[in-house]
Structure 1
Amino acid sequence: MTGDLPIQIRCAGDGPLVLLLHGFPDLSLGWHHQIEGLAQAGYYAVAPDMRGYGGTGGPPQAEAYSIFSLVGDLVALVEALGYRQAVVVGHDWGSAVAWHCALLRPDMFHAVMGMSVPFQPRRKQGPPTAVMNYLAAKNGEDPLYLAAFAAPDAHLAMDADPQTALRKMFWAFDGATPTEDQATGRIPAGRDMLALISDRASLPPWMAQDHFDQYVAAFRQTGFERAIHWYRKIDANWARTRWLQGCKITVPAAFLVGERDPVRNYTGHFESEQGEWLTDLHAVTVVPGAGHWVQQEQPLIVTQAILSFLWDLSLLQAA
């Protein structure tokens, strides 16, 4: 129990604490390779089911999923584990949370590594979804799903058939999927993302059936609405973080992304800015051929990249 939310974790090892944060639609299960590898190397690797996911669950209302609640969960988790500090590693939405952990509590989260989603500083232009929609219209493009997911019914198609939803999303964002079948991240008006992904979608090469079945069972139990709430708070998070305007991440940092990650189509331009906003940037790694699920597609490469970053921090030598 951490505060008012019981957080389910997967963990192994003993030593300096490393938190592994998953994104959408993922679970702590997605870090199983890294948990084992970090534990063998002398670290205490802990991957929580994030708020709204899996065994952790969470409140039904969207207001409970602000960036402050998500960071607060991890502060409470570090304390509950008996630690004062942790290195935080995030993937996808977990990266956004990890970056904010380093921004808001650099005393506790003394190093950060993001995967797939680079750090994006707060911009003055206005609420992010309005800016996304304006730019899409200006450029003659369909809106990004990031804005479309704010709709009250965005989760319903996923809830109706979790097995198909997960199979399509894993396939459409995977590095082994042909480019013409990968998701673009854009959704025409009146359509939903799943309808745009081919019914030919199959499990990615790295996804064993029993592994996939665990995902399906988890989302059948929880549904997708709480996970989608994270997207519904994007504009509210922007409105409540004016005081972070211009702030840089000063703790040691690293970034990793799959070469063929479709998310790069709409966040890739931020990658060139990482050295400007991460003042102690140790490494930027692009994993050849990998897509969005990089830590499962190329587990050895990703685990080694994390370990190389941790070695730079000299945590074991100081222990």
Structure 2
Amino acid sequence: MTAYRQTFIEANGLRLHVAEEGKGPLVLLCHGFPETSHAWRHQLAALARAGFHAVAPDLRGYGSSECPTEIECYTVLDVVGDLVALVDMLGARDAVIVGNDWGASIAWQAAQLRPDRFRAVAALGVPMMGRAPMAPSRLFPQNEQAWFYTHYFSEPGLAEAEFERDVAATLRKIYFSASGDVGVRDATTPNPFGFVPRNGGLLDSLIDPPALPAWLTPVDFERFVKAFSESGFRGGLNYYRNLGRNWELQAAMEGRLVEVPALYLVGERDTGLAMPGMREIIDSMPRIVPRLSASRVVPEVGHWLQQEAPEVVSEALIRFLRDL
């Protein structure tokens, strides 16, 4: 049984589905792709016990939240606008914002843009990065044989057709292949966030495990399957289709630091660490996040950090929140 409360809140012109638990200072928890608010089930309970009001929305386009039709409605600024409005609708002056994967990117930029509304930030997996020197269409590689997954995701209808053919198989393969359960990650390890062959799909090279990982119960897995069976994957993929527009908009924030207290955690087997230069980006974060209190690598876990190592993440978050 799900212990957290579920409700709908009108924010920024959208109907957002929200999971929440506890009373006290507000903590917003932002999920990644392909997840929903249920990815934070462990932290909702732990933060509530520690005296915080933990709130995890299904971001626009996900789960039971509203899914705008237009691709251009999915820039980071649109989502940050949703979160600012959500803080208002929850009756709070400000919040600590926490995110993983896409949620981490959104959390960093929310804290960078609106330190008056987001008084601290904690990010899992994705570090804070300065604006890239060139547009993503040129930055991410592709050739006649294969293209980087962001290019594949950016073609409207292409990934949806593959992923929605068998939602359970899609999620099972992606969750397992990006987790620490694949073992030590190297160049031969199947990676859902790597290259996709031009004549195939993203799922073709991924492992379909004989059983779910220990960190994902059948009941919890079915929650995700049900959510994406109802919503489809279009909303989540539209975030990728705005990578270029996000890059253009970031020009307005060039040189601006993340000036609020910050925490960063990453799994030792996170898919992102396989990207060239990622460890150097993480090491250089204090230049643009001067109040970064800790940058920690969690052993033997992968991309779904708050689900794979819930106690570690909850403990780190509670310590960070209390130190504020």
TM-score range, shorter chain: over 0.9
1:189 & 1:248 partners in 2: Cα distance? 39
| Partner secondary structure for residue 96 of structure 1 | helix
1:103 & 1:291 partners in 2: Cα distance? 26
- For structure 2, the 5+ residue unaligned runs are 1-9
Partner of 2:4 in structure 1?
Answer: none
Paired letter, 2:134: G
Partner of 2:25 in structure 1?
Answer: 16
Paired letter, 1:127: A
| Partner secondary structure for residue 248 of structure 1 | coil
Number of aligned residues: 308
Render the CA deviation track for 1:105-127: whole Å, top value 9, x for unaligned. 1100010011001111112x221
Deviation, 1:239, is 1.1
> In the alignment, is the contact (CA less than 8 A) between 1:257 and 1:294 conserved in 2?
yes
Partner of 2:151 in structure 1?
Answer: 147
Q: What aligned pairs does 1:120-269 form with structure 2 within 5 A after superposition?
A: 120-123=129-132, 125-133=133-141, 143-152=147-156, 153-178=158-183, 179=185, 180-183=188-191, 185-200=194-209, 202-266=211-275, 267-269=278-280
Render the CA deviation track for 1:201-234: whole Å, top value 9, x for unaligned. 6422211111111111110000001110000000
Partner of 1:293 in structure 2?
Answer: 304
| Partner secondary structure for residue 118 of structure 1 | coil
2:308 & 2:211 partners in 1: Cα distance? 15
1:142 & 1:264 partners in 2: Cα distance? 21
2:33 & 2:139 partners in 1: Cα distance? 22
Q: What aligned pairs does 1:33-182 form with structure 2 within 5 A after superposition?
A: 33-123=42-132, 125-133=133-141, 143-152=147-156, 153-178=158-183, 179=185, 180-182=188-190
Deviation, 1:272, is 1.2
2:316 & 2:305 partners in 1: Cα distance? 12
| Partner secondary structure for residue 160 of structure 1 | coil
1:94 & 1:130 partners in 2: Cα distance? 24
2:253 & 2:147 partners in 1: Cα distance? 27
Matched-pair identity in %: 38
> In the alignment, is the contact (CA less than 8 A) between 1:3 and 1:76 conserved in 2?
yes
Deviation, 1:151, is 1.2
1:71 & 1:308 partners in 2: Cα distance? 25
1:310 aligns with 2:321: yes
> In the alignment, is the contact (CA less than 8 A) between 1:171 and 1:201 conserved in 2?
no
Paired letter, 2:304: W
1:32/1:199 CA distance change after superposition, 3 Å: closer
Query: Given the two structures, how large is their TM-score scaled by the length of structure 2?
Result: 0.91
Query: Given the two structures, how large is their TM-score scaled by the length of structure 1?
Result: 0.92
1:38 & 1:181 partners in 2: Cα distance? 34
| Partner secondary structure for residue 97 of structure 1 | helix
- For structure 1, the 5+ residue unaligned runs are 314-319
1:218/1:296 CA distance change after superposition, 3 Å: same
1:141/1:93 CA distance change after superposition, 3 Å: farther
1:279/1:142 CA distance change after superposition, 3 Å: farther
Deviation, 1:143, is 3.5
> In the alignment, is the contact (CA less than 8 A) between 2:22 and 2:48 conserved in 1?
yes
* Pick aligned residue for 2:281 from 257, 262, 270: 270
Deviation, 1:46, is 0.4
Deviation, 1:2, is 1.2
Runs (4+) of structure 1 exceeding 2 A deviation are 140-144, 178-182, 188-191, 198-202
1:141 & 1:78 partners in 2: Cα distance? 46
Render the CA deviation track for 1:2-32: whole Å, top value 9, x for unaligned. 1310111111111100000000000110101
2:316 & 2:208 partners in 1: Cα distance? 35
2:49 & 2:60 partners in 1: Cα distance? 28
2:242 & 2:24 partners in 1: Cα distance? 35
> In the alignment, is the contact (CA less than 8 A) between 2:263 and 2:293 conserved in 1?
yes
